[in-house]
Structure 1
Amino acid sequence: MSKASVKSPPSIPSKSVSIVSQGKGGEDDDEFKTNPDFIYGGPFITVEKPSPLLGTSTPINMQLQGTFKKSFAYYSLVERLPIILTKVIDYCSRESGSIRSSCGASDGDLRSFINYVSKLKNDLITNKKYELLQVDTPEAKKWNEWIEGSPNQYYFTNIWVFTECYVYRRLREGCELYKTLATFDPFQEQKSEAFNSTLEPMCVVADKLMTMLPESDKDKRKADFVTLMKICLWANKCDLSLSVGDQVKLQDNEHTTGIMDPFQMITDLKDKLLVDDTGKAADQIITKAENMAKTIEGASVTAVTPVASKAATAEGGEEPEPPKIPCPAKMTIPQAVMFDIVCDNAGYELFADLCLAHFLVSQKIVQKVRFHVKKIPWFVSDVTPKDFQYVIDQCRSARYDKKVPQAPKPDAAEGEAPPEPLVVSADNLHRLGDQWTQYVADGIFIVMSDDFWTSPHVYKDMKKYDYNLYRKLQYAVAIMFKGDLNYRKLLGERNCSSVLGFEAALQGFIPAPILAVRTVKAELICGLPKGKADQISKIDPDWMRKGDYGVIHFCPKAEPLKVADRPCLDYGDKCRGTICPTHNDL
């Protein structure tokens, strides 16, 4: 009688292996068991195949990945991402008529796109190997190099940030493959609804901001700076990726006045702010900005050429030459005092970022603010250049008017007139929108959308993959990184100890002083007091997944801006001079 033979299982999941069990979200590993072919006279023997999944949370100092079944990374790949893709499919089916009319897409193109997204979703939930991008662009070729160079090319067993970014990049490719869908944003409807649902808090913030803009004394300026940073923090709760596209309510309950008040949120959520470096950040950013302004002013005085001076003063002479911009590769002094914001979500969160930027410019703390946004639709609600303009335009044209009667005071005298009703309107929102439009036109607000922000790389590797962007960040007096994805990339997608200091967690990424403003929506965090994480976990084991808590970290250190060891990317090896044409991002 011949012996039954059993095939050796693969060391990585084969294409036939399903990660997600029917209706169980991968709760068990039955799919990693198999029976050998029946041999006459022999028994059916269940043979265990090695599962790539482990029934643990992410170990300390390991990178986040779907391998760990008790991690948020695993839950996101099993539940959140498939639901987001399903909603894209449903939206395209439900609104096919309006999509066709707005984009000029044919029925065939839309059906092909839906099929593309359906296959992408199936590949994800069954842990297929990554496919290479099909579009022929330099950026897509880089992606293919990164995929092929990755030591693990499967959805669940590669690091979480790579897989998430890959899925959104593939979703974009589904549009790029059809010319009629080249401008299609499958998340635009959700972002528009989110903006409209937060008009009231935007009006409240706009009214308050108008009192912060006139130049003020040192103490008030610092206090307002701190307040606006906290407005930016809690605005980060409005994340459509975390809610898988469902609209997010900014406050669970309106304040007793009947108004949704973001400033009241700062007080109400005071105990939920686990790290608060706002005071330190305000002091050091203002001081560095003042010193940088003096340095720039001194450098510009010595840089005036005699020819330019004579041209400016000669009677009937020509207009003075426009200022020349030093070669970015050789520049050691920035051209202006700039504050950078690496944006997260559109809608109310972007509005809050714009308010902070307006304050910094109005108080003459900085001269320009650069907004770093995503070039393509990303993580449902991330800001694109189109979203940036949309928010400003909507602020200019918004309609909102609400009157809320106020209850009489408990100690009011008999016959005393009731308090005047609270009035919330969009009047100041219109004024802000008009001013922001002018700031964009004047180059005071600068929108940048480098490819690196939609790459799968963590920020400690930015020099390796985009040295030019790293150098541009060095011109900033400080950089504010918004939201959870940026936080994960700042920390290298590594589950570090919760008590590790913020500077150490950055792993050498210090192009400029860094401000990290984030509500906690993933299982990694740093800078907490000893025992704090355990204390909160006893109250709510899922606290790191909900966005209920927040941190505002500040690292004041920065790598000195020196002459680069390579030519700037704008001109490559041809650049050998000291003067470049004017750059619109400097």
Structure 2
Amino acid sequence: MWVRMNVTVVVPSPLRGTDPDSFAERTVRERWPRIVAQTIRENDFPEAVNERLWALHRELPDGPIRPIQDPGAPDLPLWDEWVAPYLGETWASAPWLFTEHYLYRRILEATGYFQPGPTYLHDPFRKQKTEALDPAAEAVIVLARAANERATQPELARAQLPLLVRTALWGNQIDLSMWSAGEAPRHLGTDRETAHLLADDTDALLAHLEAVAPARIDLLADNAGFELLCDLVLVDGLLAAGYAHTVVLHLKAHPTFVSDAMIADVLETLDVLAAAPDPAPRALTERLRGYLAAGRLRLSDSFIWNCPLPMRAFPKLPLADLARSNLVIAKGDANYRRLVDDAHWPFTTPFAEVVGYFPAPLLALRTLKAEVVVGLDEARIREVAAQDPEWMTNGHWGVIQFYRPAR
């Protein structure tokens, strides 16, 4: 089981779009322009909005970083502070974690998300999100039926928690900034669920849950659509097993990373499942709504989850809130990159050494979509690299990593 390391950590340099032949470079030069162009195609924006988006498109990848220009937006003072260190740098030269969040905030600036008018609070990525969950799909019905069975059998829910953790992990393969829902790799229900794990601390997680139950558990959500359903099934299982008395689901305060989930996406997911033709998703929805009404499932959003900072640099207040949790589950690639500073760590650097600043027990569930990872075995790295040269970025490999600070 991971414990706090009594060492001084020197954080390596961050990933940047200028890293030669890297996924960051490909993202800045190819993926981001494609995302901006797709945003224009998929929305019926006024021509002035489209002109602003095309101007943003022309800035990529070598245009300068400038302040956010969004008068009256609630997060504008925050972004003035976050942008200041990088003024004069380019999209490619500034740290990738910063520029990726900055891109999505610039898209909202261009679309007038925070401005009065026809595009006020219009999610520019909603079309892709709503297409990412089919309530009649076989996988949705199978997940819901199994969840309903666990809901009346706490021992079954406990026995199946490793399966629920893997389901939440591999649900992270559905990332609409990289693939459409139909194109994304899927390991659920195959032997790749375990064969493609690069690290697996499930046993340490179970021991911790047995020791602290019933617990407050916080889940840092990632994508809407099918992944969000997998997360809600995990939440349902933790409550059914008696491992959690309360689950706090942390969501984005505004659209970002194309498919990242907001409170509106959770509520819409429940509405979609409630209208499913099969009774199993409807029963799951009724139970989740009951948890919401009773306060056992809480939905929380904050601009901190849209900020461009690594978690080590977070203000004290959000970290102090997470310190009250008995377990924080960090889902997805972006949250993992935050946790490990999005930096050029040697891949064998112990996970505990890198996240030793974190104030609560931590579970990271992440499929690899960027060239940053820690806590791996050297022999395993060589084996996987020989088998799959794109293992760090193609979403086919995952980690289940647990850390518990010393008390």
SS in 2 for 1:181: coil
Letter in 1 for 2:348: V
2 CA distance for matches of 1:371 and 1:178?
Answer: 29
Letter in 1 for 2:104: Y
1 CA distance for matches of 2:184 and 2:75?
Answer: 37
The residue that corresponds to 1:556 in the other structure is 404
Gapped regions of structure 1 (runs ≥ 5)? 1-59, 100-109, 253-261, 291-336, 400-425, 561-586
Cα distance change, pair 129–251 in 1 and its aligned pair in 2 (3 A): closer
Selected match of 1:391 from 266, 269, 281? 269
The residue that corresponds to 1:66 in the other structure is 17
The residue that corresponds to 1:210 in the other structure is 148
Letter in 2 for 1:280: A
The residue that corresponds to 1:469 in the other structure is 318
Post-superposition CA distance 1:479-503 (Å, at most 9, x none)? 0000000000100011211111111
Q: Is the 8 A contact 1:152 1:158 kept in 2?
A: no
Q: Does 1:191 align with 2:129?
A: yes
For residues 44-443 of structure 1, the aligned pairs below 5 Å read 61-92=12-43, 96=44, 110-150=46-86, 153-174=89-110, 175=112, 176-196=114-134, 199-217=137-155, 220-243=156-179, 245=180, 247-249=182-184, 251=186, 262=188, 264-265=189-190, 267-290=191-214, 337-399=215-277, 426-443=278-295
Q: Is the 8 A contact 1:340 1:371 kept in 2?
A: yes
2 CA distance for matches of 1:178 and 1:537?
Answer: 51
SS in 1 for 2:80: helix
1 CA distance for matches of 2:284 and 2:33?
Answer: 38
SS in 2 for 1:67: coil
1 CA distance for matches of 2:92 and 2:201?
Answer: 36
Cα distance change, pair 151–86 in 1 and its aligned pair in 2 (3 A): closer
SS in 2 for 1:194: coil
Cα distance change, pair 125–179 in 1 and its aligned pair in 2 (3 A): same
Q: Is the 8 A contact 2:253 2:306 kept in 1?
A: yes
Of the structure 1 ranges 132-141 and 385-394, higher mean CA displacement relative to structure 2 is found in 132-141
Q: Is the 8 A contact 1:161 1:456 kept in 2?
A: yes
TM superposition score normalised by structure 2: 0.92
The residue that corresponds to 1:481 in the other structure is 330
Letter in 1 for 2:140: M
Identity percentage of aligned residues: 28
2 CA distance for matches of 1:233 and 1:248?
Answer: 18
The Cα of 1:468 is off from its aligned counterpart by 1.9
2 CA distance for matches of 1:152 and 1:159?
Answer: 13
Post-superposition CA distance 1:103-142 (Å, at most 9, x none)? xxxxxxx111111111111112333333433322352122
Q: Is the 8 A contact 2:197 2:399 kept in 1?
A: yes
2 CA distance for matches of 1:88 and 1:197?
Answer: 25
Q: Is the 8 A contact 1:69 1:75 kept in 2?
A: no
The residue that corresponds to 1:457 in the other structure is 309
Post-superposition CA distance 1:225-259 (Å, at most 9, x none)? 1110000011111110122x56434548xxxxxxx
2 CA distance for matches of 1:205 and 1:132?
Answer: 42
Cα distance change, pair 249–203 in 1 and its aligned pair in 2 (3 A): farther
Cα distance change, pair 129–469 in 1 and its aligned pair in 2 (3 A): closer
Count of residue pairs the alignment pairs up: 395
User: Could you say which structure has the greater relative contact order, defined with CA pairs below 8 angstroms and 6 or more residues apart?
Assistant: 2
Of the structure 1 ranges 151-160 and 71-80, higher mean CA displacement relative to structure 2 is found in 151-160
Letter in 1 for 2:15: L
Cα distance change, pair 556–165 in 1 and its aligned pair in 2 (3 A): same
Cα distance change, pair 87–247 in 1 and its aligned pair in 2 (3 A): farther
Selected match of 1:504 from 353, 358, 367? 353
The Cα of 1:213 is off from its aligned counterpart by 2.2
Post-superposition CA distance 1:496-550 (Å, at most 9, x none)? 11111111122x3322100000001000111111232233222222111110011
Q: Does 1:531 align with 2:353?
A: no
Gapped regions of structure 2 (runs ≥ 5)? 1-10
Post-superposition CA distance 1:68-124 (Å, at most 9, x none)? 1211110000111110100011122xxx2xx7xxxxxxxxxx111111111111112
The residue that corresponds to 2:5 in the other structure is none
Q: Is the 8 A contact 1:61 1:497 kept in 2?
A: no
SS in 2 for 1:439: helix
Q: Is the 8 A contact 2:177 2:258 kept in 1?
A: yes
Q: Does 1:516 align with 2:356?
A: no
Q: Is the 8 A contact 2:154 2:242 kept in 1?
A: no
1 CA distance for matches of 2:193 and 2:68?
Answer: 45
2 CA distance for matches of 1:476 and 1:131?
Answer: 35
Q: Is the 8 A contact 1:373 1:383 kept in 2?
A: yes
2 CA distance for matches of 1:501 and 1:532?
Answer: 14
Q: Is the 8 A contact 1:73 1:160 kept in 2?
A: yes
Q: Looking at CA atoms only, which structure, 1 or 2, has the larger radius of gyration? A: 1
TM superposition score normalised by structure 1: 0.65
Letter in 1 for 2:369: K
